[in-house]
């Protein structure tokens, strides 16, 4: 599955060099910096040209930095200011100094809508329902929180914006106390501030907003976003047309270091992997019309309150954060609804590289929440997640551990008469459904006591697959062997060393959907009796040596102990397929028994 990743291929920078220039500050020089993908067209190119013109206006001293979503860099900084800037970055997970001191709280942004959007309005906005916008926050920076609110107020039709509920999850920063209360009081009746007495986490804090809301449509936003022109109407149109739709905007990036508003130029859908982490993958779309997504990102969306209630809102048994978007995605699809991405709605979001927040919990997150999702919604496929946690060789129950009672959530699913998870995968994620898993866990060579090992990240394409002593902690030593011959984990596949590679090892990581690699090049045939793992394209078998410590592809020899590999779990028919077969046979046997009893 190819995962889309923005490639910055061109960077345009303008510096103010003249000492008399008013944008040259006492403690630094200001530069504007914008990065774009190659070959952008349409509205993306039009918006780029707007940003280019804005840079020239900044150079002329006509406007401030950051307007039209331009990025900002600081050069020749006073060391004291540089230290302050770094401290602020560590406190928030983004460049708070630039946000606080250089970017307007009410800055201009490009109109990100394609002409298609303006020509394909299906419902007159006058007839759309209004919405309650719910924004929760905890120790958010002043500028990003207020900029969020201003962008929503200024770029939303007044008759569609019923209210903005700011729900404070027990913040402790001084600026979020009386100062915020005075600011909100001056924003008008539509903006309300609600305080949590103690830290409750994302789901429970959002539910406070839900219970306080007065509209039939709820719109959730994060506290460090910037809404663009026309963002709200397309979301409300989708929910108006289908009361069981969850409508999500395209989430664009506000760069965490420069605050450039960056453009998403490809159509993306949300997906998940068997470790239950979320990701994006690119799809081909003919226009800017809304389209289905298997999984939602979870932070930004609109939903009818009555549909949200029918779905059981959020799982109250979850802790703090994580997994809530999976639960909502699974149950929306499986219980009769749908999730859409609406390209005509564009919202910028700051993606932190780390979380600066601290919380007190006795459980491991997001694992605790993931276990609840798996138990309630994933049927037999829950085992593909459960097997990823814990320690190899320990009992299943010990590895899974506690995740609270899920009885109420299972009763909810039964009452809604939801479809099974097999249906969900088949309809929404066929690639994952078709990737029948025959082997999983360690790929171990018993003779040497080595396991295949490598970190499975998109940016690690081309790195060699390694061997280390088997440690039993799963992680980098956990693999799947699929019926199509792929050896993979979540992002990458194990492939034969390619031409031009500088790796000593004969196998390396490669993108599973690499168009330059024929399928057989990343396909392996495994014999569970002999333990031979044969590369399909070359006909050579995987071999390990201790001296030198190396993986080879050599002519297959069943008697060579260095060519024998064994998975922690292996079933020729497929691990989940075996479980489903046993269940079918058990049901059929029960039905036969009932029939015989009736005949007697």
User: Which CATH number goes with the domain that contains 491?
Assistant: 2.80.10.50
Q: Do 280 and 270 contact (CB within 8 A), yes or no?
A: yes
Q: What is the pTM of this model?
A: 0.92
Domain count, the chain: 2
* Residue where a domain stops, chosen among 85, 101, 117: 101
* Residue where a domain stops, chosen among 40, 68, 101: 101
Pick from 217, 229, 221, 230: nearest CA to 251 = 221
Residue 485 covered by a domain: yes
Which residues neighbour 437 within 8 Å (Cβ) at sequence distance 6 or greater? 384, 480, 481, 482, 483, 574, 575, 576
pLDDT, mean of residues 14-32: 69
Residue 172 covered by a domain: no
Whole-angstrom distance, CA of residue 461 vs CA of residue 3: 12
Q: For 526-539, how does the pLDDT look when each residue is reduced to its tens digit (9 = 90+)?
A: 999 999 999 999 99
pLDDT at position 499: 86
The three-state secondary structure class of 445 is strand
pLDDT, mean of residues 432-439: 94
pLDDT band at 358; cut points 50, 70, 90: confident
**Domain that includes residue 518, residue range:** 435-574
Residue 463 covered by a domain: yes
Residue 469 covered by a domain: yes
E-assigned strand segments in 404-506: 437-445, 450-453, 466-469, 479-482, 487-488, 492-496
Residue 326 covered by a domain: no
pLDDT at position 10: 38
Residue 67 covered by a domain: yes
pLDDT, mean of residues 214-233: 98
Per-residue pLDDT at 389 exceeds 50: yes
Tally Cβ neighbours within 10 Å of residue 433: 16
Burial (Cβ within 10 Å: 0-12, 13-18, ≥19) of residue 182: exposed
Residue 194 covered by a domain: no
Residue 366 covered by a domain: no
Q: What percent of the chain has pLDDT over 90?
A: 88
């Amino acid at each position: 599955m190819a995962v889309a990743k923005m490639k910055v291929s061109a960077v345009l920078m303008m510096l103010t060099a003249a000492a008399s220039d008013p944008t040259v500050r006492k403690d630094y020089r200001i530069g504007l910096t914008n990065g774009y993908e190659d070959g952008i067209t349409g509205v993306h190119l039009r918006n780029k040209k707007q940003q280019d013109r804005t840079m020239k206006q900044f150079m002329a001293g006509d406007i401030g930095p950051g307007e039209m979503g331009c990025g900002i860099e600081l050069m020749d900084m006073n060391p004291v200011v540089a230290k302050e800037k770094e401290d602020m970055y560590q406190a928030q997970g983004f460049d708070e100094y630039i946000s606080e001191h250089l970017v307007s709280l009410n800055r201009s942004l490009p109109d990100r809508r394609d002409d298609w959007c303006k020509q394909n309005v299906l419902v007159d906005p006058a007839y759309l329902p209004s919405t309650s916008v719910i924004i929760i926050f905890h120790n958010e920076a002043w500028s990003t929180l207020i900029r969020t609110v201003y962008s929503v107020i200024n770029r939303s039709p007044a008759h569609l914006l019923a209210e903005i509920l700011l729900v404070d999850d027990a913040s402790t920063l001084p600026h979020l106390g009386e100062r915020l209360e005075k600011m909100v009081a001056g924003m008008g009746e539509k903006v309300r501030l609600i305080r949590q007495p103690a830290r409750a986490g994302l789901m429970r804090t959002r539910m406070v907003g839900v219970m306080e809301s007065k509209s039939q449509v709820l719109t959730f936003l994060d506290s460090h976003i910037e809404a663009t022109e026309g963002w709200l109407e397309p979301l409300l149109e989708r929910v108006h047309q289908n009361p069981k739709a969850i409508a999500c905007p395209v989430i664009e990036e506000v760069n965490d270091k420069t605050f450039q508003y960056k453009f998403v130029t490809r159509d993306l859908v949300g997906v998940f992997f068997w470790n239950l982490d979320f990701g994006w993958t690119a799809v081909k779309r003919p226009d800017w019309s809304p389209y289905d997504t298997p999984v939602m990102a979870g932070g930004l969306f609109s939903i009818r309150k009555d549909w949200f209630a029918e779905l059981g809102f959020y799982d109250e048994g979850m802790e703090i954060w994580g997994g809530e978007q999976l639960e909502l995605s699974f149950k929306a699809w499986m219980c009769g609804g749908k999730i859409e991405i609406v390209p005509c709605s564009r919202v910028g979001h700051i993606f932190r590289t780390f979380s600066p927040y601290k919380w007190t919990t006795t459980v491991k997150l997001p694992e605790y929440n993931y276990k609840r999702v798996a138990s309630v919604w994933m049927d037999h496929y829950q085992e593909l997640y459960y097997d990823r946690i814990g320690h190899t060789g320990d009992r299943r129950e010990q590895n899974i551990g506690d995740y609270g009672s899920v009885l109420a959530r299972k009763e909810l699913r039964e009452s809604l008469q939801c479809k099974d998870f097999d249906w969900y995968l088949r309809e929404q994620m066929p690639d994952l459904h078709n990737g029948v898993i025959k082997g999983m866990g360690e790929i171990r060579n018993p003779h040497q006591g080595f396991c295949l090992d490598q970190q499975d990240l998109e940016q690690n394409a081309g790195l060699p697959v390694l061997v280390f002593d088997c440690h039993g902690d799963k992680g980098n030593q956990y693999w799947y062997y699929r019926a199509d011959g792929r050896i993979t984990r979540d992002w990458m596949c194990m492939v034969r060393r390619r031409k031009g590679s500088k790796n000593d090892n004969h196998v390396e990581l490669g993108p599973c959907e690499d168009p330059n690699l024929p399928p057989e090049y990343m396909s392996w045939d495994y014999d569970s009796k002999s333990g031979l793992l044969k590369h399909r394209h070359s006909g050579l078998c995987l071999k390990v040596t201790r001296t030198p410590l190396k993986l080879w592809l050599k002519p297959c020899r069943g008697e060579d102990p260095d060519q024998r590999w064994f998975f922690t779990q292996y079933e020729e028919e497929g691990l989940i397929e075996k479980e489903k077969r046993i269940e079918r046979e058990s049901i059929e046997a029960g039905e036969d028994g009932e029939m015989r009893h009736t005949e007697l």
